[in-house]
A and B are shown apart, each in its own frame.
Chain A
């Protein structure tokens, strides 16, 4: 005992000397959200200050009271330890506790303890006297088969207990201080993947039983903020759904943000900053709206460097320090907020409370530090938007890659333009229309354009131009037009090739020209043109090959030439209209999203229809034959892809084998 305390004191002396000058580089890098949701490296947000060994064993939880005193659930020694300045000043629950895994201390100093070994909840007063101890609720509402395995606990101001029960699929167990069951709270939704659906379809009941039952993952840790909003973390789920924030009514209002699949603990500070630590020693910090501020940290892969973690079990923030309890090291690792992170926090606090313009100077300072810190652009854009400076808001939203914000700002700007120039524009249009109709009438009488018309007509001598003119025939008379192709009256392979090339070009151009609000690529540099080209060409190739092959064995009349030309002409809606729609999307906002998506859908539907007609006419099928042919074609395309993949794998294996033989031969002489 003596030794241990001496050691603590020694460590404390070391700590005191190190808190003033951090001389080691942090062993981890720090990342923030950059453009497109990609992480970008940034200055350190927290630097490690000290690792303080404590006389504890496998401690599972830590609670820091507002006055800075620490309560540690010393699981291995079956007690709660209270520390002030890392001195043990008191221990609680000896003889009562078996293995405390969760601890919470309320404003009066009462301790609420989840004992994971005896599976009970223990309430102690501030002097350590037992107030109450209870186990599984007796209420039938709790569920007959449900076990009560309390591991973590949080208490709100009205003294409701929120208990994390291991494996509880119904969510958090809510009880009162008398041990009465109030209800379940904030269950995670059960997820159902395609794989699971397929398993249900094809597996026998016995096989299904053997697999893990499809249940909602149970939350693994909990914290509560000063507005009684409950935060939980769930391990082993989608990393975008690992944190939940529940309103009093049990509604999750935390957005799907990048997190970890192995979170261990979560902490919410009074000013709404959320910290979570995962099993690999990574620390995630969010604002209360779920915006990721920083990710940093590193596991201790026997590097033994200050600031690495081997098995973190709890995290808490007090003032400018972050404390992480490590149950493997039996130590607390202390981190200090850097000047940079303090700037970010100052801005975020104001921003979360809606003081956008007050937050702006902080974020502008943050951008000085790091020009890729996307949250800054977002906050600054919001500030500009609120101040009515839409031009600048637009630019900042663009940097932040916030499509909806951009759309709103754009709507405002467009509105201004419309208000100013709608009336004159309408007058102009009206004037033009009147002039135009007068001109048309006069022209009909005087036939001014006849020489031009004749010249145009003469152009149809050129085959390609004739083919082009033929394209427009499809709008009105698709059936006849396909017949012409089949009879070789019109159309050519050369022009079909040109159409396909144009399809590729249109695909690429429309990606680059679609307005920011509707573009699937928020940043144009992320477009991979070679992939787009290969995909489109592959699709065209597969369709033509598969359709021809399928048709030849099912009495189709079309030749290769007919299929290739017919398919090309079927694509005309895309060829003609995709580009204009892309251009128009530049002046639309999300309010008119329907217009955009509807017109795109029309194009695709039209193309589908043309293909159906094409197959029917070219191969001279009945309707049912046509449908069967198309389904078979699609199936064949799938088979082609599968075959290609299998061949790829086989050749890969063969290459591996040969290179292994050669290597081994070389090695063994």
Chain B
């Protein structure tokens, strides 16, 4: 019973502490910058040590660097806040062992691989190195040689108008010893690291729509968050593990991360401009391995892989024959005051993309929001020995459905238009399944859609070579993994291999030209926006970084507009619409909240549409999320009853008939349009938490959308929001 009493005592004290803490807790949960005079904000306690020299200065920043560790410090002259690239000294309380200490105080660390493919991590301070340090205009360049292993790396750090850039050129990488290869390169891993919850703030991870991990004393995580930018490389791993009971976590589509030191006080955003295809985001919340919160990019130059030599699975682990060739360029952008939160990071990233010409405002009707309607044209079913095409929505039916539906600016995607439908290979010259209608009918439909303010796209998955289908040569047309297998993927209930770039580009270019010339329609591209693989087939080896440039080159001249499903950032320049916009994150238990980072980046530039609402299990919740994040609705439709495709590969579409959904489609559209219509084409400028489960988003034209996820009505400056409802109003004082 004594224990019981202790628990009670603890409980009471705990409640008290909790009660005291709730106010600041709520504030840090996203309340606007109510300047906290008492606490004084995050102050700089560490000075700049003598070993650091001032190497650059511009209007906003001063750059200092230490030639021995290559650590640098940036003083933000606006706030007086200093950013540290690494720890200056490690105290016993920090509880870091020797390796970790070296990792924390060195600017860069490398992981080398020996001939047996065993890897080990070494840093500047725990290895014999020779550093050739040279000052540059606004920065420095340092050639670091890890003499024991014959590995040299050159790091260039320079001040920029918005912050600092770090470069690692590939041509300056030397691997002199035949015994050791450069495995991974860690670039400023302890940049802006914080100890437990000493500094209020959070890490930002680009998972799904965006995730925050608030600094805390400990974490629920058992291992770190390690994620390759743009997902795993199928060229190295052949296939992703397949389990149809699980839903895959999102791959990282934006090579960015950030940290906030004191909300509305100081923040930075890191953008990987070059090398992201071989980059990996590694985030360590305090409590696993160390007491520090830190996150950084690591870059993969050589990997070991398992080469099976027989079908039973025996084999050898070897190193890849050629080092991945790519340059590294990272920008750290510093934010202060009002901008120092994830919204500010998103805006900063948006400016970066706009500045590079990768993001441009898509011309779109001003008034009503769009709605993506994806129509399944049909699929094939095996009857006795023949394939029979089952038409689900003919061209004429699409036209009459659109006529009947009371929606504006429809974004029409036609899926399975090719001969024999969705699960056969699309042709390389434009040819539609005969049963669906004629080419002139299709042209007429496209004109109708355009006249109604909408867009028309043919669905295309240009990378996929569907398994067991005719239409490609398995010997010549497929990409190969490093182990000499065809790459295997699973998409839309089909198993597919991936085409090599040569075949892909030829097929795509010829089909695209036909579609542009004959239909003046666009293409809705699946997979290619998010799937990035290297190809090891001997006559056309292609690495991931090259593949990005090739894809960009291929799609640059697109006429008629291109929409992408879940694209990575390198496709943004070609993107007229974003499909399957995540409404949340992957739900890692150590992340504290999901935020609409991706949406804020795109808002005002490119319209984005959510996943098809047919498959939603809580429609109202999902609609609220649409309003909250400014996401336009999307539906998957067929004219015929869904039961007809039960025995085809399209049976993953388990509910689609227009008879069942037309009412829902109209209601959804009208409700969302009444809320999101007035802010169409506007940027998101701020986002606040008004109360638990009540969020307010401010748009560029001064409108404010308040979403109430709770069941209780909420009132804010005289504006009442009913439970599980949303309102739009003028911006409040």
Q: Which residues of A contact B (CB under 8 A)?
A: 1-2, 4-10, 13-14, 16-17, 20-31, 34-35, 40-45, 47-48, 51, 53, 87-88, 90-91, 94, 282, 295-298, 302-307, 338-341, 367-372, 399, 523, 525-526, 529-530, 656-657, 659-660, 663-664, 667
17 cross-chain CB contacts under 8 A: A2-B10, A20-B711, A21-B709, A23-B584, A24-B587, A25-B584, A28-B247, A44-B617, A51-B589, A298-B245, A298-B246, A303-B249, A305-B589, A657-B310, A659-B310, A663-B309, A667-B318
**When the two chains form the complex, which single residue of A91, A295, A341, A667 contacts B3, counting CB atoms closer than 8 Å?**
A91
Assuming A23-B593, A53-B220, A339-B620, is B4 touching A16 (CB within 8 A)?
no
7 A-B pairs besides A659-B310, A663-B307 with CB distance below 8 A are A2-B14, A23-B584, A26-B247, A41-B652, A298-B243, A338-B618, A370-B655
B312 within 8 A of A: yes
**When the two chains form the complex, which single residue of B25, B247, B655 contacts A368, counting CB atoms closer than 8 Å?**
B655
Per the 8 Å Cβ criterion, residues 208-245 of B in contact with A are 208, 218, 220-223, 243-245
- A656 and B657 within 8 A (CB): no
CB of B648 to closest CB in A, whole Å: 9
Q: Which residues of B contact A368 (CB under 8 A)?
A: 655, 660-661
- A304 and B385 within 8 A (CB): no
B592 within 8 A of A: yes
- A529 and B384 within 8 A (CB): yes
Assuming A1-B7, A656-B310, is B14 touching A6 (CB within 8 A)?
yes
Q: Which residues of B contact A31 (CB under 8 A)?
A: 245
Assuming A26-B247, A529-B385, A667-B318, is B584 touching A372 (CB within 8 A)?
no
- B589 and A20 within 8 A (CB): no
Nearest residue (CB) in B for A281 is B245
CB of B421 to closest CB in A, whole Å: 16
CB of B52 to closest CB in A, whole Å: 38
Assuming A21-B621, A338-B618, is B6 touching A1 (CB within 8 A)?
yes
B90 within 8 A of A: no
CB of A93 to closest CB in B, whole Å: 11
Q: Which residues of B contact A (CB under 8 A)?
A: 1, 3-4, 6-7, 10-11, 13-15, 17-18, 22, 25, 29, 208, 218, 220-223, 243-247, 249, 307-312, 316, 318, 381-385, 484, 582-590, 592-594, 615-621, 624-625, 641-643, 646-647, 651-652, 654-657, 660-661, 692-693, 709-711
- A306 and B587 within 8 A (CB): yes
Q: Which residues of B contact A656 (CB under 8 A)?
A: 310-312
Identify the interface centre among A43, A297, A298: most chain B CB within 10 Å of its CB: A43
Complex: how many Å from CA A13 to CA B311?
53
Q: Which residues of B contact A26 (CB under 8 A)?
A: 247, 587
Assuming A2-B14, A304-B590, A340-B617, is B247 touching A91 (CB within 8 A)?
no
Assuming A28-B246, A305-B249, is B587 touching A17 (CB within 8 A)?
no
- A88 and B312 within 8 A (CB): no
CB of A324 to closest CB in B, whole Å: 14
Q: Which residues of B contact A370 (CB under 8 A)?
A: 654-655
Q: Which residues of B contact A372 (CB under 8 A)?
A: 642-643, 646, 651, 654
- B617 and A338 within 8 A (CB): yes
**When the two chains form the complex, which single residue of A22, A341, A525 contacts B381, counting CB atoms closer than 8 Å?**
A525
Q: Which residues of B contact A88 (CB under 8 A)?
A: 7, 11
Q: Which residues of B contact A42 (CB under 8 A)?
A: 654
Q: Which residues of A contact B582 (CB under 8 A)?
A: 25
Q: Which residues of B contact A340 (CB under 8 A)?
A: 617-618
A interface secondary structure, majority? mixed
**Which 5 A-B pairs give the minimum distances between C-beta atoms?**
A24-B587, A20-B693, A660-B310, A23-B594, A371-B642
Q: Which residues of A contact B711 (CB under 8 A)?
A: 20
Assuming A1-B7, A302-B222, is B15 touching A341 (CB within 8 A)?
no
Q: Which residues of A contact B655 (CB under 8 A)?
A: 368-371
Q: Which residues of B contact A664 (CB under 8 A)?
A: 309
Q: Which residues of B contact A369 (CB under 8 A)?
A: 655
Q: Which residues of B contact A87 (CB under 8 A)?
A: 11
Identify the interface centre among A24, A48, A53, A370: most chain B CB within 10 Å of its CB: A24
- A304 and B222 within 8 A (CB): yes
Complex: how many Å from CA A426 to CA B660?
47
**When the two chains form the complex, which single residue of B584, B693, B709 contacts A24, counting CB atoms closer than 8 Å?**
B584
**When the two chains form the complex, which single residue of B617, B624, B625 contacts A47, counting CB atoms closer than 8 Å?**
B617
Complex: how many Å from CA A659 to CA B621?
55
Complex: how many Å from CA A657 to CA B657?
53
- B647 and A523 within 8 A (CB): yes
**When the two chains form the complex, which single residue of A6, A13, A90, A526 contacts B4, counting CB atoms closer than 8 Å?**
A90
- A1 and B10 within 8 A (CB): yes
CB of A108 to closest CB in B, whole Å: 21
Complex: how many Å from CA A51 to CA B221?
12
Assuming A2-B14, A51-B220, is B660 touching A17 (CB within 8 A)?
no
Q: Which residues of B contact A20 (CB under 8 A)?
A: 692-693, 709-711
Assuming A9-B18, A16-B692, A27-B249, is B383 touching A525 (CB within 8 A)?
yes
Q: Which residues of A contact B18 (CB under 8 A)?
A: 6, 9-10, 13
Identify the interface centre among B6, B310, B625, B661: most chain A CB within 10 Å of its CB: B310
Complex: how many Å from CA A20 to CA B690?
14
- B587 and A307 within 8 A (CB): yes
Q: Which residues of B contact A526 (CB under 8 A)?
A: 647
**When the two chains form the complex, which single residue of A23, A27, A47, A304 contacts B246, counting CB atoms closer than 8 Å?**
A27
CB of B79 to closest CB in A, whole Å: 30
Nearest residue (CB) in B for A530 is B385
- A5 and B14 within 8 A (CB): yes
Q: Which residues of A contact B245 (CB under 8 A)?
A: 28-29, 31, 282, 295-298
Complex: how many Å from CA A508 to CA B521?
46
Assuming A2-B13, A371-B642, is B585 touching A24 (CB within 8 A)?
yes
- A305 and B588 within 8 A (CB): yes
CB of B211 to closest CB in A, whole Å: 9
Nearest residue (CB) in B for A48 is B587
- A667 and B586 within 8 A (CB): no
Nearest residue (CB) in B for A295 is B245
Complex: how many Å from CA A255 to CA B693?
44
Q: Which residues of A contact B222 (CB under 8 A)?
A: 302, 304
Complex: how many Å from CA A100 to CA B349?
55
Q: Which residues of B contact A45 (CB under 8 A)?
A: 617
Nearest residue (CB) in B for A22 is B621
Nearest residue (CB) in A for B218 is A7
Assuming A47-B618, A659-B311, is B247 touching A27 (CB within 8 A)?
yes
- B643 and A399 within 8 A (CB): yes
- A660 and B587 within 8 A (CB): no
Nearest residue (CB) in B for A128 is B1
CB of A501 to closest CB in B, whole Å: 16
Complex: how many Å from CA A13 to CA B593?
13
Nearest residue (CB) in A for B14 is A5
Complex: how many Å from CA A90 to CA B710?
31
CB of B623 to closest CB in A, whole Å: 11
Q: Which residues of A contact B243 (CB under 8 A)?
A: 298
Complex: how many Å from CA A367 to CA B642?
10
Complex: how many Å from CA A25 to CA B669?
23
- B651 and A9 within 8 A (CB): no
Assuming A304-B222, A659-B311, is B647 touching A23 (CB within 8 A)?
no
Complex: how many Å from CA A630 to CA B625?
74
CB of B108 to closest CB in A, whole Å: 28
- A304 and B588 within 8 A (CB): yes
**When the two chains form the complex, which single residue of B311, B583, B587, B615 contacts A43, counting CB atoms closer than 8 Å?**
B615
CB of B730 to closest CB in A, whole Å: 25
CB of A369 to closest CB in B, whole Å: 6
- A371 and B643 within 8 A (CB): yes
Q: Which residues of A contact B693 (CB under 8 A)?
A: 17, 20-21
**When the two chains form the complex, which single residue of B17, B589, B618, B654 contacts A304, counting CB atoms closer than 8 Å?**
B589
- B594 and A667 within 8 A (CB): no
Identify the interface centre among B7, B11, B223: most chain A CB within 10 Å of its CB: B7
Complex: how many Å from CA A21 to CA B693?
6
Complex: how many Å from CA A8 to CA B587?
20
Complex: how many Å from CA A660 to CA B311?
8
